[in-house]
Structure 1
Amino acid sequence: MTRYAIPITSPEGLSSPVKEHFAKSEYFVILEAEEDKIVSVDVLHNVPSEEGEKKAADFLADNGVNVVLAGSIGPCMKSILHDRGVKVFMGAEGTAEDAFKDHMAGKLMEVQKTGF
């Protein structure tokens, strides 16, 4: 089973729009999926802080997230997530459900760890 995190603008879960600024996201929808089937959905409340990028990355990794689907994500956040063993895909748009479906269809781009 894979555990996905998608930054969202409001706590409505799958119907929430994807939030553009990943590190400052107040909410993340967490999906557990077996292949392309969602088996559970939860919304986690993240408290953004001065340590935004590190705190958000640690928060997600500590909650068992394996994959992040985001609209865009900065190089520092990508590096921190990769260091924690989390794969990152960019290009998510629309709702959280749209982002998951686009990922399953191979429409999101996996990004590799980058230096900064």
Structure 2
Amino acid sequence: MKRIAVAAEKDVVSDHFGLCEDFLYYNTDGEKITKIERFHNPGHRPCELPEEVIAHGGIDTIISGKLGKEAARIFQDKGVEVIIGAEGETREIVDSYIHGKLHSEGEFCDAWTCEFFS
């Protein structure tokens, strides 16, 4: 089983991880989605939000439109694959990902750094 979190606005991939409305967690088994769970974004807290997303459901992959460099570093340090540049309906994006058709595109944002929030 693989668990994928998607930053979302309703059922569409959010343009930015920290400012999304919700996170949709998709459990997958091979190339099949087996469960979807919604987790409301508790608020944009740079350098803390990635930890909360991981703690809520132990994820393997995070998918978003955009993502900050520090958030990406935190996810990667925890062994979470980071996919950015995604656009569209979340279920279609996850389906594309599990079929090997979705790849990270673009660059990470650098508006936030953790030392400002320590």
Please give the TM-score of this superposition, normalised by the length of structure 2. Answer: 0.79
| 5+ residue gaps, structure 1 | 11-15
Q: 2:80 aligns with which of 73, 86, 92?
A: 86
Matching residue of 2:30: 35
| Structure 1 segments (4+ residues) deviating >3 Å | none
Q: CA deviation at 1:110?
A: 7.6
Which stretch of structure 1 is more off in the superposition, 83-92 or 27-36? 83-92
Distance 1:33 1:69 in 2: 14
Paired residue type of 2:63:
L
Distance 2:12 2:60 in 1: 21
CA contact (8 A) 1:87 1:110 kept: no
Determine if the alignment matches structure 1 residue 61 to structure 2 residue 54. yes
| 5+ residue gaps, structure 2 | 107-112, 114-118
Structure 2 CA distance for partners of 1:80 and 1:92, relative to 1, 3 Å: same
Deviations 1:27-65 (A, max 9, x none): 00000001110010110112114xx23222011111211
* DSSP 3-state at the match of 2:58: coil
Alignment of 1:1-116 (within 5 A): 1-10=1-10, 16-49=11-44, 52-62=45-55, 63-103=57-97, 104-109=99-104
Q: CA deviation at 1:94?
A: 0.7
CA contact (8 A) 1:89 1:108 kept: yes
The count of aligned residue pairs is 105
Distance 1:79 1:20 in 2: 19
Please give the TM-score of this superposition, normalised by the length of structure 1. Answer: 0.80
* DSSP 3-state at the match of 1:78: helix
Paired residue type of 2:17:
F
Paired residue type of 1:9:
E
Report the identity percentage: 24
Distance 1:96 1:19 in 2: 9
CA contact (8 A) 2:63 2:83 kept: yes
